[in-house]
Chain A
Amino acid sequence: MNRRVYLDHNASTPVHPEVVAEMLPYFSDVYGNPSSVHGFGRDARAAVDAARDRVAAFLRVRPEELVFTSGGTESDNFGVKGLALARGSGHVITSRVEHHAVLRSAQALEAQGFTVTYLPVDQYGMVDPDDVRRALRPDTIAISIMHANSEVGTIQPVRAIGALARDAGVPFHVDAVQTFGKVEVDVHAMNIDALSFSSHKIYGPKGIAGLYIRRGTKMVSIQHGGEHERRRRAGTENVPGIVGLGKAVEIRARDMKAEAERVSALRDRMWEGIRARVPDVRLNGHPTERLPGTANVCYRNVESESIVLGLDLKGIAVSAGSACTAGSVEPSHVLVAMGVPLDWAMGAVRSSLGRSTTTEDVDFVVASVTEVVSRIRQAMPVGAA
């Protein structure tokens, strides 16, 4: 195996070398606790503040409206539970295609007596703002809709949903982990009150993320302890991580638009190549409202894991849309919600391209997919054998 192609950027990304360089002094040189009053602590505090300013400038929000967390999952838990628990009881609106960090937070709220509406999506995985309008009740206390879906890449109409939320006076949380630093996120135009974002999807380090909380939004903490993050999230700040996130954001501000165009073109080239060579395939997700580098393709009557294994053996990293754990296969909850038939949904493979992806990579993947799927289908009891 010589060539290695990483097409799983929606799962995680390599840390940008400039980010690594910026982080390094904060492991062994500037190691104080930002809460300490001495010089070591003040140096660390200055680094945290500077990074917060960078992220705030990127999001065009006030630095004090940002809370650093340990990851997208924590941010989503904080966003959903923080809004709901601050209101004691009531009704929450979310969708069936959210990340499990949101879905299971909503389920945890249900166990505590909240009621939750899980909105359906259309064939492209998109929530209809009219469904949000119809779901609104006098006791609705929070809405949580993702910006873009990690599996199929569909970008939700958050601007329209935000306008509805604002009119109804209901706080609006958006899981923007897959869009932050990839496409435009405007919390003002979109009327977003809480926004989850992460670092390791945009060439920053793992273990650091954040939640934007609009000033004046009533929230409760879900992690208790010290007075960190303006008493909203206890725990010593991950200083190297925060510095890395700040640098990653700065680089995204510079590179985001050009990269989005480049990876979109590569993604289209890949899909066109696959479609021309492999029978019985379909592209999932919205044709235009979608993440730049994401292609979720179903290979009918082939189990996705066998394709992932076949590509892995060629040095290509993609992810399966269905997960077989301990002999039980669960088709993706996103594809099920989109109404994708089971014989297609079981063969879903997600490729997510990124800054290192080249035309040669894409052409290699197309040739490899063609060969792997054809070989697996030769041994198949049904379909294109």
Chain B
Amino acid sequence: MRYSPTLVDHFLNPRNAGLMRDADGSGSDEYAGCGDLTRFYLKMRAGCLAEARFQAYGCGPTIAAASVATELVAGRAVEDLLVLKAQEIEDALDGLPEDRKHAAEVAAGAMRAAALDALRRRPGNREA
């Protein structure tokens, strides 16, 4: 198996999969090369992540990266999510093959977009 046991576990048992209707922020990212798409929905409490859910279209690593990201960032401040790096997600999956690095990049990009959305929609911030 070219994928780590952690990746396989997240693919077989995705954590926090599915739509969240009353999210405080949502964002997605797409990998142009292959059309892989990841979307996160965030529920914030006191500026920190209370709950994250994901939807993903793509190969096994893309689904697993989105799943592991929802656990990885639990409880983090929204500002920290704005700078989430793909490497951190890849590390949480115990590595990705060279030709599947985009799975972590898409997940990280989607999480940053969702965090930015949450920040804009934060009460008192009228930018949104």
Contacts and interface: CB of A to CB of B under 8 A. Distances in A.
Interface residues of B, number: 32
A379 B66 contact: yes
A378 B17 contact: yes
B36 to A, nearest CB: 7
A329 to B, nearest CB: 4
A326 interface: yes
B51 to A, nearest CB: 16
B36 A303 contact: yes
Contacts of A302: 57
A309 B35 CA distance: 18
A324 B56 contact: no
Interface string A293-324: 00000000111011001100100000000001
B12 A313 contact: yes
Contacts of A378: 14, 17-18
Nearest to B60: A309
Interface in B52-106: 54-60, 62-63, 66-67, 98-102
Contacts of B101: 327
A325 B59 CA distance: 11
A23 B40 CA distance: 58
Contacts of B31: 327
A329 B33 contact: yes
B93 to A, nearest CB: 14
A329 B35 contact: yes
Interface in A344-385: 346, 375-376, 378-382, 385
Contacts, number: 73
B59 A385 contact: no
Contact of A301 (B54, B57, B66, B67): B57
B63 A376 contact: yes
Nearest to A383: B57
Given A301-B57, A378-B17, A385-B19, A306 B63 contact: yes
A324 B34 contact: yes
Contacts of A381: 28, 37, 39, 55-57
A310 B11 contact: yes
A327 B100 contact: yes
A328 interface: yes
B64 to A, nearest CB: 10
B56 A329 contact: no
Given A326-B98, A327-B99, 12 more contacts: A301-B57, A306-B59, A306-B60, A309-B60, A310-B11, A313-B12, A324-B99, A326-B33, A329-B33, A378-B18, A379-B54, A385-B55
Interface of A: 301-303, 305-306, 309-310, 313, 324-329, 346, 375-376, 378-382, 385
Interface of B: 3, 8, 11-12, 14, 17-19, 28, 31, 33-37, 39, 54-60, 62-63, 66-67, 98-102
28 contacts: A303-B36, A303-B57, A303-B58, A306-B11, A306-B58, A306-B60, A306-B62, A306-B63, A309-B60, A313-B8, A313-B11, A324-B99, A326-B99, A327-B101, A346-B35, A379-B17, A379-B54, A379-B55, A379-B63, A379-B67, A380-B55, A381-B28, A381-B37, A381-B39, A381-B56, A385-B18, A385-B19, A385-B55
